[in-house]
Amino acid sequence: GAGVSQSPSNKVTEKGKDVELRCDPISGHTALYWYRQSLGQGLEFLIYFQGNSAPDKSGLPSDRFSAERTGGSVSTLTIQRTQQEDSAVYLCASSLSPGGGQETQYFGPGTRLLVL
Amino acid sequence: GQQLNQSPQSMFIQEGEDVSMNCTSSSIFNTWLWYKQDPGEGPVLLIALYKAGELTSNGRLTAQFGITRKDSFLNISASIPSDVGIYFCAGTKNTGNQFYFGTGTSLTVIP
């Protein structure tokens, strides 16, 4: 597709269960970002991928959160043993060529996670 | 990442009025971006600025890259009800790897 896609669009889970969120970036975009947005709040940076490596994981809130990217394309954000405070919208974004001076970031529609 | 200082936090205006919001940073930025987020959606890019002093328009929207490279503003002229949403500024520094976001301006347009 032309834009960033994310799945699922909504996820309801029980406390303590693991969840996987998927992001398909725009084709050819080498950089991929994960953010978290709580209700009515701004964007909280989680992790950044350049290709398949993650030079910046500084935003991951705990060791329950992990992410990987394969083939320089699809990325998966995994939350283990979910807690109610993990409830939020998880946004993925991609950009073409970081450091090239013309950075522009495009967002997916997000995955709305609710932990009961 | 680091949050940019964005103001105002919220605005309530009458349809037809002009709107102005701005974003400031203590650091120099190489890129300024403005996004709009509708409820239940991801942020959508409105305008991208890459050069100090650059003034760019997109329909009723106009944005400028501050000459000091530490600020940017977004103007919306003749507001309409569909302008309602949250507007975010974002920027990148010299390495360009990480995007820093403002805290958002919530815009309400009263018909």
| Per-residue pLDDT at B20 | 97
Nearest CA distance, A16 vs chain B (angstrom)? 26
User: Distance between CA A99 and CA B94 in Å, rounded?
Assistant: 7
pLDDT digits (tens, 9 = 90+) for A7-46: 999 999 999 999 999 999 999 898 899 999 988 778 888 9
Are A25 and A76 in contact by the 8 Å Cβ rule? The answer is no
User: In which element (H, E) is residue A106 found?
Assistant: strand A105-107
Q: Token digits for A23?
A: 């992001």
Q: Using a CB-CB distance cutoff of 8 angstroms, which residues of chain A are in contact with residue B105?
A: none
Residue A99: what pLDDT?
Answer: 56
* A50/B97 touch (CB, cutoff 8 Å), yes or no: yes
CA A89, CA B82: separation in Å to the nearest integer? 23
Model confidence at B96: pLDDT above 70: no
**pLDDT tens figures, A74-111:** 999 999 999 999 999 999 999 886 555 567 889 999 99
Is there a cis peptide before residue A61, judged by omega within 30 degrees of 0? no
The C-alpha atoms of residue B63 and residue B58 are separated, in whole angstroms, by 9
From A80's Cα to the closest Cα of chain B, the distance in A is 23
pLDDT in tens, B74-87: 999 999 999 999 99
Contact with chain B for residue A79, Cβ under 8 A: no
Q: Looking at chain A, how many residues does it have? A: 116
Which of the two residues, A54 and B65, has the higher pLDDT score?
A: B65
Beta bridge partners of A68: A76
Size of chain B in residues: 111
Q: Give contacts of B96 with chain A, Cβ < 8 Å.
A: 98-101, 103
Please name the residue of chain B whose CA is at the shortest distance from the CA of residue A109: B42
Contact B107, A112 (CB under 8 A): no
Structure tokens at A103: 């950075």
- Chain B hits for A1, CB-CB cut-off 8 Å, are none
The answer to whether the Cβ–Cβ distance between A105 and B90 falls below 8 Å is yes
- Residues in chain B within 8 Å Cβ distance of A48: 97-98
d(C-alpha B25, C-alpha A29), whole Å: 27
Q: Which two tokens stand for residue B55?
A: 């003034």
